[in-house]
Amino acid sequence: MENMEKGIIIYQSKYGATKKYVNWLIEETNFDCIETQNVKIKDIKKYNTIILCGGIYASGIAGLSFFRRNYDVLKNKKLAIFCVGASPFEEKAFNEVKTHNLKEDLKNIPTFYGRGAWDEENMTFKDRTLCKMLQKAIVKKDPNTYEPWMKALVSAVGEKCDWTNKEYIKTLLDYIS
């Protein structure tokens, strides 16, 4: 990607799928990169383009608090959010995640989605327990009423799945170029 202004990717990856997308973005952009836990606003003021990459957990976007806390400093930059989730993309569900997370000033930040991975063995006890509780609640329902994320969750039980795909970053790359 020629003519691209220097940018930075700020990310939070719990199980590795988000980091995989970050690596693909770095390959395509040569942007710098830092984990949200290590970023300081003074260090990223020099960048024109700032991409936040984070997983979706319990409908929250990991790392988003950095944008929230620092929006006054970031508002004149080219901002983007890339979310990673285990569910297949479904516009209604994704719009609900955006509405839940991107309030007030953040609501106009372009947000993109990439499907992640599923590996119960590597989940924390808490995450595994929450997923099992949710799965038990879903299987009590009529399968004909399942939303796409419900089908994905039920079919992933006991499986190790990796749905990451470089194709998911294309629309983000188009936006920042």
Locus of tokens 């399942």: 146
The pLDDT assigned to 5 comes to: 57
d(CA 96, CA 29): 29
DSSP-assigned states of every residue in 3-47: TPPPEEEEEE-SSSHHHHHHHHHHHHH--EEEEGGG--HHHHTT-
pLDDT per residue as tens digits for the range 43-69: 898 999 999 999 988 778 999 999 999
The predicted pLDDT at position 4 comes to 44
Specify the pLDDT at position 71: 94
Low-confidence residues of the chain, pLDDT below 50? 1-4
- What's the predicted TM-score (pTM) here? 0.84
Amino acid 44: pLDDT: 92
pLDDT in the model for residue 60: 86
pLDDT value of position 3:
38
